[in-house]
Amino acid sequence: MPAFNEEGSVAEVVREVNLRVPGATCLVVDDGSTDSTYARALDAGALVARLPYNLGVGGAMRVGFRYALENGFDAVVQIDSDGQHDPAGVPALLAVLDDADLVLGARFAGEGEYHVRGPRRWAMSVLAVVLSRTSRSRLTDTTSGFRASGPRAIAVFAKHYPAEYLGDTIEALVIASRAGLVIRQVPVSMRVRSAGKPSHNPFKSAAYLARAGMALGFAFVRPSSTYRIGSTQ
């Protein structure tokens, strides 16, 4: 669970995860927060890895995958610490993980209420088409940060999870496809963030699109040997 300045919601999400998914290890990666995220997460009973400075979601995720790899976990579920993902959806993701390496919790696939409009919506549909083709499976919500990874995906992501801010969710899918992983999606419901505010600034959206597009482009043209499972690069 990557967390950057989420003191208002992280404790609640941790408690909810422990309640909904008993037996799971809840690792919060504090991405160089300047508020009390670290203390709140610890108090709520999570393991907390603390990055010395902010690396972006990608860096935080990489820490999580590496932790899973080194401690022999066979499934990793990424969940946002702002409370927009409902931990009750975790078992549904894990169920599909049996015959897939990467399972996305998709927000538009019918369940719950989640709407975006304008250029962002168009971009998300374009991304969905491109990535569905690449991964040879129907994906509708490619920017979802609610996803489960199996052992093969963990091995790839611990090494190659993209560090580029914002592009990470999309680029991770391309990396996974190119490494030959099986990707599936499961409908999940989204909630309104329990703290913090969503970014609806048009300039930020435009920057997001541009960076997402670039990340996507470069992920495709990178040498394919980069992503081979077990490659030492």
Partner 1 sequence: MSTPLASYIFGIVSAALVLVVVIEMLRRRRLRERHAIWWLIAGILALVAGIFPATLGWAATLVGIEVPINLVFFVGIAILFLVCLQNASELTILETKTRVLAERVALLDLELRGMSTDDDNSARAADQNEPS
Q: Which parts of this chain interact with partner 1 (CB under 8 A)? A: 29, 36, 38-39, 47-53, 55, 59, 62-63, 66-67, 70, 163
Q: Which two tokens stand for residue 48?
A: 């907390």
- In the complex with partner 1, the residue whose CB is nearer, 50 or 120, is 50
Q: How far is the CB of 191 from partner 1 (least distance, A)?
A: 28
Q: How far is the CB of 214 from partner 1 (least distance, A)?
A: 15
- In the complex with partner 1, the residue whose CB is nearer, 62 or 184, is 62
- For CA atoms 209, 107, 64, 29, give the dihedral sign: positive
Q: How far is the CB of 112 from partner 1 (least distance, A)?
A: 33
Q: How far is the CB of 62 from partner 1 (least distance, A)?
A: 6
- In the complex with partner 1, the residue whose CB is nearer, 73 or 114, is 73
Residue showing tokens 């999580």:
64
Q: Cβ contacts of residue 169 below 8 Å, gap of 6+?
A: 142, 143, 144, 145
Q: Cβ contacts of residue 9 below 8 Å, gap of 6+?
A: 81, 82, 83, 193, 194, 195, 196
Half-sphere exposure of 82 (CA within 13 A, CB side): 14
What single-letter amino acid sits at 212? Answer: A
- In the complex with partner 1, the residue whose CB is nearer, 57 or 182, is 57
Angle at CA 45, nearest 5°, toward 41 and 51? Answer: 40
Q: How far is the CB of 89 from partner 1 (least distance, A)?
A: 26
- In the complex with partner 1, the residue whose CB is nearer, 138 or 222, is 222
Considering just the CA atoms, what is the radius of gyration of the chain in Å?
17
